[in-house]
Amino acid sequence: MPQSADRVLDHAPLFRQPEYQEMFARKREQFECPASGEAVEAQRDYARTWEYREKNLAREALVVNPAKACQPLGAVFAAAGFERTMSFVHGSQGCVAYYRSHLSRHFKEPSSAVSSSMTEDAAVFGGLNNMIDGLANTYSLYDPKMIAVSTTCMAEVIGDDLHAFIQNAKNKGSVPQDYDVPFAHTPAFVGSHVDGYDNMIKGVLEHFWKGRTRSAGEGLNLIPGFDGFCVGNNRELKRLLDLIGVSYTLIQDASDTYDTPSDGEFRMYSGGTRLEDVAAALNARATLSLQKYCTRKTLDYAAEQGQETHSFHYPLGVRGTDELLLKISELSGRPIPEAITMERGRLIDAMADSQSWLHGKKYAIFGDPDVVYGLARFVMETGGEPIHCLATNGTKAWEEEMQALLASSPFGASGQVWAGKDLWHLRSLLFTEPVDFVLGNSYAKYLERDTGTPLIRTAFPIFDRHHHHRFPVMGYQGGLRLLTTILDKIFDKLDQDTIDPAKTDYSFDLTR
Amino acid sequence: MLKDKIADVFNEPGCEKNQAKGAKERKKGCTKPLTPGAAAGGCAFDGAKIVLQPITDVAHLIHAPLACEGNSWDNRGAGSSGSDLWRRSFTTDLTELDVVMGQGERKLYRAVREIARTYAPPAIFVYSTCVTALIGDDIEAVCAKASETCGLPVIPVNAPGFVGSKNLGNKLAGEALLDHVIGTVEPDDVGPTDINILGEFNLAGEFWAVRPLFERLGIRIRACIPGDARYREVAAAHTARATMMECSTALINLARKMEERWGIPFFEGSFYGISDTSDALRQTARLLVGRGAPSDLLDRTEALIAEEEARAWARLEAFRPRLQGKRVLLNTGGVKSWSVVAALMEIGVEIVGTSVKKSTAEDKERIKQLLKDENHMFESMAPRDLYAKLASHEADIMLSGGRTQFIALKAKMPWLDINQERHVAYAGYDGMVELVRRIDLALSNPIWADLRDPAPWDAEGRLTAAGAAPRAEPGRDPAADPTFLAHHRRKFAGAGADDMAEC
């Protein structure tokens, strides 16, 4: 055997050893009844054709590799941005295990959430008892300052009423009467994680704002939206806001929750928006959402309370950041300091330095609606062309906004918007109308392998690379980071294409 | 002696500039003494290495402390179609003790021996540098000895940095080839249509875009010096029937002395621009026929030119409306100045200025004829003058090398690299189309608008009118978006019929 105690091979080289290769081949022959190599090749070739693409795009009932997650995931992420808050998902256990591992895999941090562990009897008789016991257990076991309740499909299908259930549980003494238990109905069969985020944030605001009278002040509320880069982005936002000198509340700040130091202490909770700040945020002059599609109902609610509301599409790059800072400056009456102007100049300088490498590069961009919008806009600022813009959870309204964005620049002329399409659609699109790079999350690594289109990881989730979430992509400094990420891939690709000594290394250059 | 060699190079009769001077000035050479405290270009060592390093299968050994080689490793992107030995950074890495104890020669000898054993190259080029020349290491003697014991040519390149400019180094490298390399190999396949190309560096693989043109005419390139050359090709260069010289400022001495010694006629030509490329092919054919090649070569050359020119013009026509009247400022070293001028004017681009610092009198005469105005030529422009020209919008774009790139960018103007650090081939018919395409791309990059527009707030950080104005871009302001409220008032966001996300 190739494996021995003297020299232990890890998985990458081990299974290339002849013993394993023979085993794989044998299993394939004996158990898989495989099609012939030619048949597989023929099928593979067929999947690259326009004919197959037409059939693929005509697909109605089936979704393959959707680029979206379900509402409760968004709700769990939203709840993680508040001080000492435990996410409580009313429903069965398994879903919650998935939200926790999903977030942990991305952030490389523990992610806490509990469920009411509904089982068959709960489905038949209703989940009230699970709520009563669940809240009591969560309260005593994990000592949270707030329990944020959301739901899974199961609770929604049987129609459990969270408002009544929570009140019942409080009456039964599960938690004190004045204990904070905001809630949101988040059925997974409606919308996507961005809607779950929206519902949960709105639930929290409603919980703290309901029945109180607003006295308008000068502060600003900022809601980051569902952001896989929150650790870097939120900190960068706070730095910029502090530089401008604005009084603000970041509503839903998960930057510390998903970035705790390794010092021997386990922190179930860390950082997050303080609950009294959430309550006081009712008096803010305005609420700004950095992602419109993550906060449609929340902003509506804030507007109903009499606040001015503004939303952005994941503000990135020069224009995106300009727009955000200008609005903040306008609302607060505070000038934008010289230090930020210098940062802006540096980003532009960097983009100009690299312009010839970025110009005319073609991209496919997929992800959440706002993220796709922000990335497409940034790409066009660098002279790149977004060819495919795809959001599985994109709506008709988003599609129109994207069309208008593409029409605003000559670099958007070849851009196509694909709302509601999945990654298997994108696969056909990449085969028939190839691009230079894909911008999106880790799931596209399979598209990268199939279609040979290099993937630039810029969205949530990133499972197969580490620490992206720690660096901002927002703000001018974040723009630099994003620019560098894109350029690194461009140069890596060029190096890979020209790496053979004395054959293709005519562009394997040291200086660029 | 190095001193005699330098005097000889300064005396170069092929260099009109020098010949125009009196005997005394000629002795001083072309290079004005550098102004202490002012920025300057490369040294003689740099120049020698530039000319020789693209000979790809040779080991280039730098006899120096580490930095001479460390800093100049791979600073020009010459393409190689074979060996990558030329790219290795061989150095004797002289240290303080070596200098004090005078161990340089021994170290050099051992280094040569080690290279010979490990890499078995067809030859080793040994470069002296400031330090090793100052401490008096006799690299000629070491090379001669090593050559004997190792059984391969070990060529001394005596051009330490302090003797003069980069350009002097270029010429000293040519002398090294004349003294030790060219004429040492007699090929058995000499033909009537063999040529040499001198001063072609195959930057960004540029010569590969031209080489097939010669091959289609049945013309063999015996040696392209130095671009993508092999040692044996260079060593047999004396058997060619004609020479095309591309960069006269670098290797005029080599071309002229090859004519003197072996009777190979040469002409000066360029592959930048359509008519220049055609002209180069035409002149090559004419020289070859003059020396006994079959006369139908002339007709075949004309046919090829007609075909290629038609193809290139057809492709260029698409750019004419986009580039007509665009103003270009050229700041390039040497050879490219006049040839790029001709190339750009062919498609309607206006030249608002070109540097002629390293151009010969002949180059300048050509530029004068093309531009019909001497005022557009400048001998040397200080960075601040370049900046002023660009900042006052006298030009739409600057074409230059990497060192002046940032002047353009700081003046908020587009810039295109046409010197050695670029990665795109501009030579020949296809290269010209590519150059024009790149100019078009550079001019239309959206980053220039960002670069020029001020931040949308004023010096005090307050909103400016431009910043506060309603934005043209869509979807920025929910109030301006009629569908916004309708969409976000739904019970479950995005659950409507217009939501394609659902299944």
User: CA A3 to CA A111: how far, in whole Å?
Assistant: 36
User: CA A305 to CA B484: how far, in whole Å?
Assistant: 18
* Residue B326 Cα to chain centre, angstroms: 25
Give, as one character, the DSSP assignment of residue B189.
Answer: -
Q: What is the mean pLDDT of residues B338-357?
A: 77
- Residue A453 in 3-state DSSP? coil
Chain A residue at shortest CA distance from B82: A502
Is the distance from CB of B172 to CB of B52 less than 8 angstroms?
A: no
Pairwise CB contact (< 8 Å): A195 & B488: no
Nearest to A486 by CA among A382, A416, A331, A352: A382
| H or E segment and range at residue B222 | strand B220-226
What's the whole-number average pLDDT of chain B? 82
Pairwise CB contact (< 8 Å): A329 & B461: yes
Residue B399 has φ and ψ, to the nearest 5°, of -105, 125
Q: How far is CA B491 from CA A309, B488, B499, in A?
A: 20, 8, 13
In this prediction, residue B472 carries a pLDDT of 45
Pairwise CB contact (< 8 Å): B501 & A337: no
| H or E segment and range at residue A385 | strand A385-391
Q: What is the pLDDT of residues B352-410, one digit of tens each?
A: 887 766 666 666 777 777 776 666 777 667 777 888 888 888 889 988 877 777 788 88
pLDDT tier for residue B338 given thresholds of 50, 70 and 90: low
Looking only at the bridges linking them, the beta strands covering A220-223 and B154-157 are unpaired
Tokens matching residue A484: 């560098």
In this prediction, residue B484 carries a pLDDT of 38
Q: Is the CB of residue A420 less than 8 Å away from at least one CB of chain B?
A: yes
Indicate the length of chain B as a whole number. 503
Pairwise CB contact (< 8 Å): B499 & A396: yes
Pairwise CB contact (< 8 Å): A506 & B75: no
- Is the pLDDT reported for residue B491 higher than 60? no
Nearest to A57 by CA among A361, A388, A377: A388
In this prediction, residue A1 carries a pLDDT of 67
In degrees, to the nearest 5, what angle opens at C-alpha A378 toward C-alphas A376 and A382? 115
pLDDT tier for residue B418 given thresholds of 50, 70 and 90: confident
Q: Give the distance from residue A508's alpha carbon to the nearest chain B alpha carbon, in angstroms.
A: 9
In this prediction, residue B488 carries a pLDDT of 36
Contacts of B487 in chain A (CB under 8 A): 296, 395, 397
- Alpha-carbon radius of gyration of chain A: 25
Provide the β-strand partners of residue A362: A385
* Residue B94 Cα to chain centre, angstroms: 30
- Is the pLDDT reported for residue B340 higher than 90? no
Q: Is the CB of residue A493 less than 8 Å away from at least one CB of chain B?
A: no
pLDDT tier for residue B474 given thresholds of 50, 70 and 90: very low
Chain A residue at shortest CA distance from B448: A352
b or e along A121-137 (b: 16 or more beta carbons within 10 Å of the residue's beta carbon)? ebbeebbbbbbbebbee
- Nearest by CB to residue B423, choosing from A194, A501, A512, is A512
In this prediction, residue A406 carries a pLDDT of 97
Nearest to B64 by CA among B162, B171, B148: B162
Indicate the length of chain A as a whole number. 512
Q: What is the mean pLDDT of residues B288-312?
A: 93
In this prediction, residue B354 carries a pLDDT of 79
Pairwise CB contact (< 8 Å): B501 & A501: no
Contacts of A195 in chain B (CB under 8 A): 492-494
Tell me the HSE value of A453 on the side-chain side, using a 13 A CA sphere. 27
Output the CA torsion sign for B291, B296, B301, B302: positive
Pairwise CB contact (< 8 Å): A381 & B450: yes
- Residue A363 in 3-state DSSP? strand
- Nearest by CB to residue A326, choosing from B77, B467, B481, is B467
User: CA B34 to CA A179: how far, in whole Å?
Assistant: 81
Interface predicted TM-score (ipTM) = 0.74
Above pLDDT 90, what percent of chain B?
A: 40
- Is the pLDDT reported for residue B71 higher than 80? no
Active site residue ranges of A: 153, 157
Residues of B (81-110) whose Cβ lies below 8 Å from A: 81-84
- Is the pLDDT reported for residue B286 higher than 60? yes
Lowest-pLDDT choice from A315-329, B5-19, B182-196, B240-254: B5-19
Interface mutation vs chain A, best among B412, B423, B488, most A CBs within 10 Å: B488
Q: What is the pLDDT of residues B321-332, one digit of tens each?
A: 888 889 988 887
User: CA A454 to CA A451: how far, in whole Å?
Assistant: 9
In this prediction, residue A77 carries a pLDDT of 97
Winning range, highest mean pLDDT, from A315-329, B157-171, B409-423: A315-329
In this prediction, residue B478 carries a pLDDT of 40
* Residue A343 Cα to chain centre, angstroms: 26
Nearest to B494 by CA among A198, A366, A150: A198
Chain A residue at shortest CA distance from B441: A359
Pairwise CB contact (< 8 Å): B447 & A408: no
Tell me the HSE value of B31 on the side-chain side, using a 13 A CA sphere. 22
- Nearest by CB to residue B447, choosing from A300, A335, A355, is A355
- Is the pLDDT reported for residue B187 higher than 80? yes
Residues of B (199-218) whose Cβ lies below 8 Å from A: 204-205
Pairwise CB contact (< 8 Å): B501 & A392: yes
Is the distance from CB of A192 to CB of A69 less than 8 angstroms?
A: yes
CA-CA-CA-CA dihedral for B458, B460, B465, B466, to nearest 10: 30
Note if the pTM is more than 0.90.
no
Instruction: Looking at B73-150, list the stretches that DSSP marks H as alpha helix, in order from N- to C-terminal side.
Output: 96-101, 104-119, 130-134, 139-150
Q: Is the CB of residue B401 less than 8 Å away from at least one CB of chain A?
A: no
- Is the pLDDT reported for residue B258 higher than 90? yes
In this prediction, residue B40 carries a pLDDT of 64
Residues of A (291-320) whose Cβ lies below 8 Å from B: 292-293, 296-297, 299-300, 309-313, 318-319
- Alpha-carbon radius of gyration of chain B: 28
- Nearest by CB to residue A191, choosing from B471, B495, B500, is B495
Pairwise CB contact (< 8 Å): B461 & A337: yes
Sheet architecture: strand order including A114-115: A114-115, A85-90, A146-151
Query: What residue ranges of chain A have pLDDT lower than 50?
Result: none
> Please, what's the largest Cα pairwise distance for chain A?
79
Chain A residue at shortest CA distance from B57: A502
